[in-house]
Chains A and B, each alone.
With several copies, the nearest count.
Chain A
Amino acid sequence: MKARVTVTLKTGVLDPQGKAIEGALKSLGVGGVASVRQGKVFDIELDGADKGKAEAALKEAAEKLLANTVIENYRIEVTG
């Protein structure tokens, strides 16, 4: 089974990376960029075919390791 966990910064948390990228895009002359926030994706393959189980495992992975829940949110999608 395939899944994607997307981890993004919570609103209001400073995103130095996004800020630097935003600046770079502007100075590269890419038009109309107002703001950039950077996040992470994890493409995960799981053994087994039980979607419920997979989701539980992914939630555990996100909580324990993939996301820093103090400053980040995460979203899980089982993609196939």
Chain B
Amino acid sequence: MSRNEPRITPELVAEHGLKPDEYERILKLIGREPSFTELGIFSAMWNEHCSYKSSKVHLRGLPTTGACVIQGPGENAGVIDIGDGQAVVFKMESHNHPSFIEPYQGAATGVGGILRDVFTMGARPIACLNALSFGDPSHPKTRHLVSGVVAGVGGYGNSFGVPTVGGQVRFHTRYDGNNLVNAMAVGLADTDKIFYAAASGVGMPIVYLGSKTGRDGIHGASMASAEFGEGAEEKRPTVQVGDPFSEKLLLEACLEIMAKDCVIAIQDMGAAGLTCSAVEMGAKGDLGVTLELDKVPTRETGMSAYEMMLSESQERMLMVLKPEKEKEAEAIFRKWGLDFAIVGETTPTKRFIVKHGGIVMVDLPIKELGDEAPVYKRPFVEMPKLPVIKVIDVRPPMRLPDALEKLIGTPDLCSRRWVWEQYDHVIGGNTVQRPGGDSAVVRVLDGPKALALTADVTPRYCEADPFEGGKQAVAEAWRNITAVGGKPLALTDNLNFGNPERPEIMGQFVGCVRGIAAACKALDFPVVSGNVSLYNETQGRAILPTPTIGGVGLIDDFTTAATLAFKAEGEAIVLIGETIGWLGQSLYLRDLCGREEGAPPPVDLVEERENGDFVRALIQDKLATAAHDVSDGGLLVAVAEMAMASGLGATLEPAPADTPPHAFWFGEDQARYVVTVPAGHAEALLARAAEAGVPASLLGTVGGTTISLSGERPIQLKVLNERFEGWLPTYMAGGPP
């Protein structure tokens, strides 16, 4: 089919990550040997990232519909209806491997990619979140990775001009060789102006927009391609460099042409750039696509068809244009200083044809490229359930005040201020609640509506019991939205796991997905977008299963949103939900007793829903003056966080007689919240709870500058604060892990 391309050999096939039987499948499908460029295209379309071949069968079990859902998984991002003709467009995506190789650029381009997914659909991004998992603080690479990743996330988002308002950071030795960077973007659009990827109409111009194509990120096969490239070049890095400036221009230009009604279909170029985007536009629209590579703007000379088709240069888009709008659209792109080139057209043939230098380099059936990708039902095993840790078998290693002071300064519980102060979290002028609370609250335009946004998962629970852990991740996101008074609407997920070819890893994946599905159903919290990242392992050791959940909720009036800070001396502190004192997999057990053991706390989804609905109603009825969910570290940590946020202390009631104090205060039982009500309103609240059948009990009273537990020395807020705020900056400045 073409000159100058290497011959296909079994080695070359293997270098493209295609298994022999997958190659057989290709031969059968096209009835001949593929050209080199075609092989590259198959490898891009059929790899795990694009084809979801290991995960597809399981993802089908996720609930993806609901009253608010406009667009579920399958497009660039999910779309939900928030009323008044407004839609929220959001998705989360990983950039794990690139950020391990080059933390700054890897994280930056991760943010850039997810922003593009959102504005491709016609939405202006209004917030970003990020969930980061790093190796043990004592690992020699950790500090370098934290500093690079955080700078990269900030570097891109700050320059692009979107507030980064929330996220997660964790440390665990299982991420030593494989950190995770999950980035989420949230945008706002009009429900009647959402743009999709499906092309329509024959003979429509296909336009290339944005930055020029270079030899960025041409993966696995880069060696092979170098062999026939021009001369002896230095070995090319496969990292991409982000250009937030160009992306900002691309955003403005795209929104401008969308407003002018120039666009039939639009698709960003993400993984496997031109290949994936062109194939998807054609296949979704039941059309063929012909590309003329000679028209593609390139920033390097002598690029081959193979390289152009597989380049992952950033800040690019592909669009099917209304032909009569060509001049108008071009003028807009020129004004913003961006490339605009007609590089092809839609055809009736359902073939994907790529021409370069007058030669047809690719001629493939467009639908089969995606549809006929292999799908695997990989074998999986479920791990036996871990024993439930009995409280009686956990001797408290220290007194309660010492335990709190110690826990609050541990890597997983301490303040993330050092991180989020490097993110512009106020740009836009709509950040009602900044990072540091349960959910970020971002006003929608001029209000009064606002979004509650959060990202959650507790990987140690997922490892111990994938099904319960999957449930818990969803429940915690739902709870964090509820704790600010939001109504949880929908979520995006980012499923990070090890090698799916190992049955135990596949078992984790299947378990977590089933848990997520169960919780989504029980909580009416559908999945509208997501991303799967597999093969997160080094030297045969997988990461902790980490299915990050990004939740979006709606607040009707942002001025009624609850915050976690105590509000006034004398107010009553009330616990909602039941505490039996679950220590298995708790941070208390892990970080103070040195035991990473046992079954994680079970999540009762009925209780979860009842308790959450109760708390949300309290907030909406303006009865609760503060609210906070109870998660990592348990009840005393939650109270301490409320105290530190306000500078007001608390005097706490003794633990119930039937629960040992350390289990009561540090157990991680689920479905719980701490709320405060004005002095004298506690009785009424307890009565309301009793009526609703929701467990509630008086926990203490706000006041003073210490947290006082009966029979224990008072815990100074000042000391707590120093420990809470101290660890991360000290560590990052080279201090002890």
Q: A interface vs B, CB < 8 Å? A: 10-16, 19-20, 23, 27, 68, 70-71
Residue B304 interfacial (CB < 8 Å): no
Residue B337 interfacial (CB < 8 Å): yes
A-B contact count (CB 8 A): 47
A63 vs B233: C-alpha distance in the bound complex, in angstroms? 21
CB-based nearest B residue for A68: B102
CB-based nearest A residue for B243: A16
* Contact between B236 and A12, CB atoms less than 8 A apart: yes
* Contact between A71 and B241, CB atoms less than 8 A apart: yes
Interface residues of B in 687-737 (CB under 8 A from A): 734
A58 vs B299: C-alpha distance in the bound complex, in angstroms? 23
CB-based nearest B residue for A23: B337
A15 vs B101: C-alpha distance in the bound complex, in angstroms? 18
Q: A14-B214, A14-B216, A27-B734 are in contact. Are A70 and B237 (CB under 8 A)?
A: yes
The 7 closest A-B pairs by CB, nearest first: A16-B243, A14-B241, A70-B102, A12-B215, A12-B236, A71-B237, A70-B237
- Residues of chain A with a CB closer than 8 A to B313's CB: 14
Q: Within the complex, which residue of B234, B236, B242, B245 is in contact with A20, where a contact is CB–CB below 8 Å?
A: B245
A3 vs B102: C-alpha distance in the bound complex, in angstroms? 27
A73 vs B504: C-alpha distance in the bound complex, in angstroms? 43
5 chain-A/chain-B pairs, Cβ below 8 angstroms: A10-B236, A10-B237, A12-B233, A16-B241, A70-B102
- Residues of chain A with a CB closer than 8 A to B102's CB: 68, 70-71
Residue B464 interfacial (CB < 8 Å): no
Q: Tell me the smallest distance from the CB of B535 to a CB of chain A, in Å.
A: 20
Interface residues of B in 271-328 (CB under 8 A from A): 299-300, 313-314
Q: Tell me the smallest distance from the CB of A2 to a CB of chain B, in Å.
A: 16
CB-based nearest B residue for A27: B734
Residue among A12, A14, A68, A70 with the highest chain B CB neighbour number at 10 A: A14
- Residues of chain B with a CB closer than 8 A to A20's CB: 245
Q: Within the complex, which residue of A10, A14, A15 is in contact with B234, where a contact is CB–CB below 8 Å?
A: A10
- Residues of chain A with a CB closer than 8 A to B734's CB: 27
- Residues of chain A with a CB closer than 8 A to B234's CB: 10-11
Residue B685 interfacial (CB < 8 Å): no
- Residues of chain B with a CB closer than 8 A to A27's CB: 734
* Contact between A14 and B337, CB atoms less than 8 A apart: no
Q: A23-B337, A70-B102 are in contact. Are A14 and B299 (CB under 8 A)?
A: yes
User: Which of under 10, 10 to 19, 20 to 34, or 35 or more describes the interface residues of B?
Assistant: 20 to 34
A68 vs B103: C-alpha distance in the bound complex, in angstroms? 11
- Residues of chain B with a CB closer than 8 A to A68's CB: 102, 104
- Residues of chain A with a CB closer than 8 A to B346's CB: none
A54 vs B313: C-alpha distance in the bound complex, in angstroms? 32
Residue B246 interfacial (CB < 8 Å): yes
A68 vs B241: C-alpha distance in the bound complex, in angstroms? 12
Residue B536 interfacial (CB < 8 Å): no
Residue B105 interfacial (CB < 8 Å): yes
* Contact between B233 and A11, CB atoms less than 8 A apart: yes
Given contacts A16-B242, A71-B237, 11 further A-B contacts (CB under 8 A): A11-B236, A12-B236, A13-B237, A13-B241, A14-B314, A16-B243, A16-B245, A27-B734, A68-B102, A70-B101, A71-B105
- Residues of chain B with a CB closer than 8 A to A14's CB: 211, 214, 216, 240-241, 243, 299, 313-314
- Residues of chain B with a CB closer than 8 A to A23's CB: 337
A19 vs B102: C-alpha distance in the bound complex, in angstroms? 21
Q: A11-B233, A16-B246 are in contact. Are A71 and B214 (CB under 8 A)?
A: no
Residue B407 interfacial (CB < 8 Å): no
Residue B239 interfacial (CB < 8 Å): yes
* Contact between B241 and A15, CB atoms less than 8 A apart: yes
A15 vs B211: C-alpha distance in the bound complex, in angstroms? 12
Q: Tell me the smallest distance from the CB of A27 to a CB of chain B, in Å.
A: 6
Residue among A12, A19, A27, A68 with the highest chain B CB neighbour number at 10 A: A12
A27 vs B102: C-alpha distance in the bound complex, in angstroms? 22
- Residues of chain B with a CB closer than 8 A to A13's CB: 216, 237, 239, 241
Interface residues of B in 215-257 (CB under 8 A from A): 215-216, 233-234, 236-237, 239-243, 245-246
- Residues of chain A with a CB closer than 8 A to B246's CB: 16
CB-based nearest A residue for B101: A70
CB-based nearest A residue for B238: A70
- Residues of chain A with a CB closer than 8 A to B243's CB: 14, 16, 19
- Residues of chain B with a CB closer than 8 A to A11's CB: 233-234, 236
CB-based nearest A residue for B236: A12
* Contact between B300 and A12, CB atoms less than 8 A apart: yes
A49 vs B199: C-alpha distance in the bound complex, in angstroms? 48
CB-based nearest B residue for A70: B102
CB-based nearest B residue for A73: B234
- Residues of chain A with a CB closer than 8 A to B211's CB: 14
Q: Tell me the smallest distance from the CB of B97 to a CB of chain A, in Å.
A: 13
A48 vs B246: C-alpha distance in the bound complex, in angstroms? 29
A20 vs B59: C-alpha distance in the bound complex, in angstroms? 43
* Contact between A71 and B233, CB atoms less than 8 A apart: no
Q: Tell me the smallest distance from the CB of B105 to a CB of chain A, in Å.
A: 7
Q: Tell me the smallest distance from the CB of A41 to a CB of chain B, in Å.
A: 18
Q: Tell me the smallest distance from the CB of A9 to a CB of chain B, in Å.
A: 8
- Residues of chain A with a CB closer than 8 A to B214's CB: 12, 14
Q: Tell me the smallest distance from the CB of B304 to a CB of chain A, in Å.
A: 14
Q: Tell me the smallest distance from the CB of A76 to a CB of chain B, in Å.
A: 18
CB-based nearest A residue for B313: A14
Q: Tell me the smallest distance from the CB of B384 to a CB of chain A, in Å.
A: 42
- Residues of chain B with a CB closer than 8 A to A70's CB: 101-102, 237, 239
A68 vs B148: C-alpha distance in the bound complex, in angstroms? 11
